[in-house]
Amino acid sequence: MNNYIVRETPAVMRQMARDHLQGNWIMVYCGVAFYYIMATLMPQFFDLCVPLGRASQAVAGENVDISVISQFYSMFFTGVFSVGLASFMISFVRLREIHPTYVFNGFEYYMRCLALSLVKTGLIFLWTLLLIIPGIIASIRYSQAEYILADDPSKGVMQCIAESKWMMDGNKASYFVFGLSYIGWIALSAIPLFLVSFLSEQSDMQNAMEFILTAAASLPLYLSLTYLQTGVTVFYELVSGHLRARQPENDPWQDGNQWPGSGQNM
């Protein structure tokens, strides 16, 4: 297995993401929004709107009412949806026909997705026990595992972890800086969500109303996350050797797949 070093700048990779998204924003937005609705809004729905299955838990010395259903949902389904999102995004970036329901693709090999989620979370948690920075490095080191499994569901959990570790050798700094380059977009689009959170803390807002406002305020954020997820997938295609960016002007294309829309070797 080759170790491809990503030498493209964040600006180049973001441009590659925009080129892929040109004319496809609505389709990809629907898929990404569907993922975040299933992975993040659904647990919040159980937490705010479902009175059943609640328990008291000590948090920072105070008893907090939590939803057991929400906790179990996050544990057993969020990781599966993450692999499904990776499957959706890989299919899009490789110019295949896609549908938002591809986010459910991970359920075809549910136990493997669940095991990957638990192992990855456990490893990151163990590194975080040392210090925050080792935990961040570990999360970057294993960041490609869901993409590797979505790309080849026959691979085992530890193989995906090992391949992600190998792929990110020499690429962790590039991935970190690339992710930071989206901070402005994310922060700007998250303003409505921050306002809803502030209002809910300052007023006696009913849980159902808080959930509805949160869902509505998340829509602009999903736009930035669509841009981010496309860029992250472009990074995976580069680090896995499936895609090559264009050389500087007047230079020939590198070996490998051209972008965007070449359709070669896809």
Lowest pLDDT segment from 52-56, 74-78, 89-93: 52-56
Mean pLDDT of 199-225: 89
172-180 vs 132-141: helix crossing angle, rounded to 10? 100
Q: What is the pLDDT of residue 19?
A: 94
pLDDT in tens, 149-207: 999 999 999 999 999 999 999 999 999 999 999 999 999 999 999 999 888 887 777 78
- In this structure, are residues 25 and 92 in contact, taking their beta carbons and an 8 Å threshold? no
The whole-angstrom separation of Cα 79 and Cα 57 is 24
The whole-angstrom separation of Cα 127 and Cα 178 is 22
88: Cβ contacts below 8 Å, ≥ 6 apart: 31, 32, 35, 98, 100, 102, 103, 105
Query: Over the chain, what is the mean pLDDT?
Result: 86
pLDDT above 70: residue 47: yes
Residue of higher predicted confidence among 244 and 32: 32
Instruction: Assign 68 to helix, strand or coil.
Output: helix
Q: What is the pLDDT of residue 57?
A: 62
What is the torsional sign of CA 96, 101, 102, 103? Answer: positive
- In this structure, are residues 190 and 221 in contact, taking their beta carbons and an 8 Å threshold? yes
Burial class from Cβ neighbours inside 10 Å (0-12, 13-18, 19+) for residue 12 reads middle
pLDDT above 80: residue 31: yes
What percent of the chain has pLDDT above 90?
A: 67
Residue of higher predicted confidence among 93 and 247: 93
Q: What is the pLDDT of residue 264?
A: 33
Return the structure tokens found at 265: 């070797």
The whole-angstrom separation of Cα 114 and Cα 128 is 21
Q: How confident is the model at residue 1 (pLDDT cuts 50, 70, 90)?
A: low
Residue of higher predicted confidence among 201 and 94: 94
pLDDT above 60: residue 257: no
Residue with tokens 């090559």: 244
pLDDT in tens, 117-163: 999 999 999 999 988 899 999 999 999 999 999 999 999 999 999 99
pLDDT above 60: residue 44: yes
The whole-angstrom separation of Cα 123 and Cα 138 is 8
As separate numbers, helices (DSSP H) first and strands (DSSP E) second, the chain gives 12, 2
Q: What is the pLDDT of residue 58?
A: 55
Burial class from Cβ neighbours inside 10 Å (0-12, 13-18, 19+) for residue 130 reads exposed
pLDDT above 60: residue 253: no
The amino acid at residue 107 is: F
